[in-house]
Chain A
Amino acid sequence: MMGWLDHLPILPVVVPMMAGALMLLLKDSRRKALTGLAYLSVSIQLAVAVTLLIMTAGSISTDWNNDIGVYLLGNWIAPFGIVFVVDKLSAVMLVLTIVLGISALIYSTAFWDRVGIHFHPLFQFILMGLNGAFLTGDLFNLFVFFEIFLAASYGLLLHGSGSRRVSSGLHYITVNLIGAFLLLISISLIYGVTGTLNMADLGVKAGMLDAESRKLFETACAILGIAFLVKAAAWPLNFWLPNAYAAACAPVAALFAIMTKVGIYALVRMGSLLLPTGAPAAFGGEWMYAIGLGTLLFGTLGILAEKNTGRLVGYSIILSSGTLLTALGMPGVTLTGPSLFYLISSVLTTGAFFMLVELIKRTESFGSNVLSVSFEAFGLDEDKTSDYSGDVVGVAIPAAQAFLGLSFFTCAILIACMPPFSGFVAKFALLSSALELTDNNLTGPSVSAWLLVIAMLVSGLATVIALGRSGVRLFWNSDTFQTPKLSIREAVPVSVLLLSCIALSIFAGPVMDFLAETASSLDDPSQYINAVITQASTKSVGGL
């Protein structure tokens, strides 16, 4: 007999899907119904995600094996059917997604959900794809969910139209389509070699391959890794990112902040499952580390050179991807917990920053953020387009300027990982655990640990310089300054995200403990594998 709690893992996918489908039936003019439905859907998702998180933490008694919930779709046992698996990592990512989603949704209701059609259904579908990608335990199903949120993201990126969005959208779609082909090639190759698509089963079967098949398997994994690295915005596969993210309207860009982290999640998940049988190149080990360092370097140079604030945030996303890849590429498990902490903090911050950047743009007249020299040198034209959202109808909150300044300052501190907020806690934990890692034959920290420390500190310094510079231009430029109008619906989500970062710094201890537990369960994938393989199908009782 299944209690209602057993059906929770499927809800993060079903709820947004049904909500999105219902919204398609409503005209865009019925805004009240649409937003009501959207709020209802995200509230349910938040409740479900938080409950799942508590369940994986073991605070609600379940019959879950090692606090890992396995949901058999259609009651087919693994590896024959598709399974949904909720472990600590998935649950954390689900909560993160929905917190970001709710903030972006509130923000969008101020202006952006009206500038084009079908904003709300697409928004629900992107949430569905993200949730599904975090939950699924099947490789092909992972591809399908990737495509779902990517397809929705294509629509959302183009939301509001305009030649800049269409042009960067074209590049974005092309890159992601090629990424999808790589994913398909690798998945089918993996199936051809191992005969399974279930990720847990794959972890078992990968160890039983003979030498020749193993080579083919490693090739497949390398292609899979490339596909994930494209999503994770790793250098040199990330040139599409700054343009695409800067072109997207603010709430969409905020939601996009988590999309690169799906790639990281997929790398971590597959790397964890393939670890006992020797992780292939792209998943952990030297390659991921080297790529991470390259990404950090690229991001550092990019953020220093960039003058457009939207693209600046894009580069800070690349920096966070680089930091994560470098840290996760280090040997051992001690860095995984702090990396996850950094991931949470950076997603919340960059999400808030994308929204903030748009609000701040209202204060400036054109060109105030560009050096007058480069103005002439590059012959920049006026590009204040119809996207300008300064005419938002809303209650102008008093001291809007103070709010913007304070939020920008907080964001900058968070992104640059300066004390006292969560960014600092994360980076400090990363650096200290990197230095504690000792080489096998040396007594001190290894060379790679020192490189990691240097790269992270330099990128942090570059971020401080870049953000300080744009802060000066944006806020201390009195002759071109306009006092912005701010709707309360735009101020609330930014504050929510920043306050959750501050809460994250205050409760850093318990959160870090939980993430360390997450990391150790990732290090021991046999729990995950056992939970999936041994999950028995449910006997139907009383027609249920």
Chain B
Amino acid sequence: MEIVYSLAIGVLAGSGIWLLLRPRTFQVIMGLTLVSYAVNLFIFGMGRLSVGAPPIIEAGKVVDISNYADPVPQALVLTAIVIGFATTALYLVVLLALRGLSNTDHVDGTEYNS
């Protein structure tokens, strides 16, 4: 599972970074989205991967905590998703505004004819 998981993060981050370096705003926003997926998965993975382990310990029970998932990264990833979602939405607006103002989807707002 770890191999598949880390490969998924690697592929997402790699494609994301490649897209980030492209000159078109749409490619950049797709890149940002992919990188944010990779980062979210990475945060989640930092809580150690487990299958079928609940993150909540029942009150009044003596338990072995190694049978439970770490709830903190799950909380962190939720926060990161929310913040990433909001900033991506904002970015989309700026992207459209730039498209409208400059009549091009180049990140610099001007076309370079080469």
The reply to whether B101 and A166 contact each other, CB–CB distance below 8 Å, is yes
Which chain B residues border A262 with CB–CB below 8 Å?
Answer: none
Mark out the residues of chain B between 55 and 105 whose CB falls within 8 Å of any chain A CB in the assembled complex: 72-73, 76, 79-80, 83-84, 86-87, 90-91, 94-95, 97-98, 101-102
Which chain B residues border A177 with CB–CB below 8 Å?
Answer: 32, 87, 91
The reply to whether A147 and B39 contact each other, CB–CB distance below 8 Å, is no
Which chain B residues border A191 with CB–CB below 8 Å?
Answer: 46, 72-73, 76
**In the bound complex, what is the Cα–Cα distance between A140 and B73 (angstroms)?**
11
Mark out the residues of chain B between 1 and 47 whose CB falls within 8 Å of any chain A CB in the assembled complex: 20, 25, 28, 32, 35-36, 39, 42-43, 45-47
Which chain B residues border A155 with CB–CB below 8 Å?
Answer: 90
Which chain A residues border B54 with CB–CB below 8 Å?
Answer: none
Q: Which residue of A lies closest to B87 (CB)?
A: A177
Q: Which residue of A lies closest to B98 (CB)?
A: A166
Which chain B residues border A187 with CB–CB below 8 Å?
Answer: 76
Which chain B residues border A174 with CB–CB below 8 Å?
Answer: 20, 28, 32, 91, 107
The reply to whether B108 and A167 contact each other, CB–CB distance below 8 Å, is yes
The reply to whether A163 and B101 contact each other, CB–CB distance below 8 Å, is yes
Which chain A residues border B72 with CB–CB below 8 Å?
Answer: 191, 197
Which chain B residues border A161 with CB–CB below 8 Å?
Answer: 97
**Least Cβ–Cβ distance between A429 and chain B, in angstroms:** 40
**Least Cβ–Cβ distance between B57 and chain A, in angstroms:** 14
Known: A140-B76, A174-B32, A177-B32. A163 touches B87 (CB 8 A): no
Which chain B residues border A189 with CB–CB below 8 Å?
Answer: 46
**Least Cβ–Cβ distance between B71 and chain A, in angstroms:** 12
Which chain B residues border A180 with CB–CB below 8 Å?
Answer: 83-84, 87
Which chain B residues border A458 with CB–CB below 8 Å?
Answer: none
Q: Which residue of A lies closest to B47 (CB)?
A: A192
**Least Cβ–Cβ distance between A454 and chain B, in angstroms:** 36
**In the bound complex, what is the Cα–Cα distance between A115 and B109 (angstroms)?**
23
**In the bound complex, what is the Cα–Cα distance between A170 and B102 (angstroms)?**
13
The reply to whether A163 and B109 contact each other, CB–CB distance below 8 Å, is yes
**Least Cβ–Cβ distance between B28 and chain A, in angstroms:** 6
Number of interface residues, chain B, beta carbon within 8 A: 33
- Flag whether A111 is at the interface (Cβ < 8 A): no
Choose among A144, A147, A158, A177 the residue with the greatest number of B CB atoms under 10 Å from its CB: A177
Mark out the residues of chain A between 173 and 194 whose CB falls within 8 Å of any chain B CB in the assembled complex: 173-174, 177-178, 180-181, 184-185, 187-189, 191-192
Which chain A residues border B39 with CB–CB below 8 Å?
Answer: 181, 184-185
- Flag whether A488 is at the interface (Cβ < 8 A): no
Which chain B residues border A173 with CB–CB below 8 Å?
Answer: 87, 90-91, 94
**In the bound complex, what is the Cα–Cα distance between A167 and B98 (angstroms)?**
6
The reply to whether B90 and A167 contact each other, CB–CB distance below 8 Å, is no
The reply to whether B107 and A171 contact each other, CB–CB distance below 8 Å, is yes
**In the bound complex, what is the Cα–Cα distance between A484 and B98 (angstroms)?**
32
The reply to whether A166 and B97 contact each other, CB–CB distance below 8 Å, is yes
**In the bound complex, what is the Cα–Cα distance between A155 and B91 (angstroms)?**
11
Query: Which of A158, A178, A197 touches B94 (beta carbons < 8 Å)?
Result: A158
The reply to whether A184 and B87 contact each other, CB–CB distance below 8 Å, is no
**In the bound complex, what is the Cα–Cα distance between A167 and B94 (angstroms)?**
8
Mark out the residues of chain A between 142 and 177 whose CB falls within 8 Å of any chain B CB in the assembled complex: 144, 147, 151, 154-155, 158, 161-163, 166-167, 169-171, 173-174, 177
**Least Cβ–Cβ distance between B59 and chain A, in angstroms:** 16
Which chain A residues border B97 with CB–CB below 8 Å?
Answer: 158, 161, 166
Query: Which of B73, B79, B86 touches A151 (beta carbons < 8 Å)?
Result: B86
**In the bound complex, what is the Cα–Cα distance between A166 and B83 (angstroms)?**
21
Q: Which residue of B lies closest to A182 (CB)?
A: B39
**In the bound complex, what is the Cα–Cα distance between A277 and B94 (angstroms)?**
44
The reply to whether B95 and A170 contact each other, CB–CB distance below 8 Å, is yes
Q: Which 10 A-B pairs have the closest CB atoms?
A: A192-B46, A188-B43, A163-B101, A188-B46, A167-B109, A166-B97, A181-B39, A166-B98, A147-B83, A184-B39
Known: A155-B90, A167-B109, A184-B80. 6 other contacts (CB 8 A): A167-B108, A170-B94, A184-B43, A185-B42, A188-B46, A191-B73
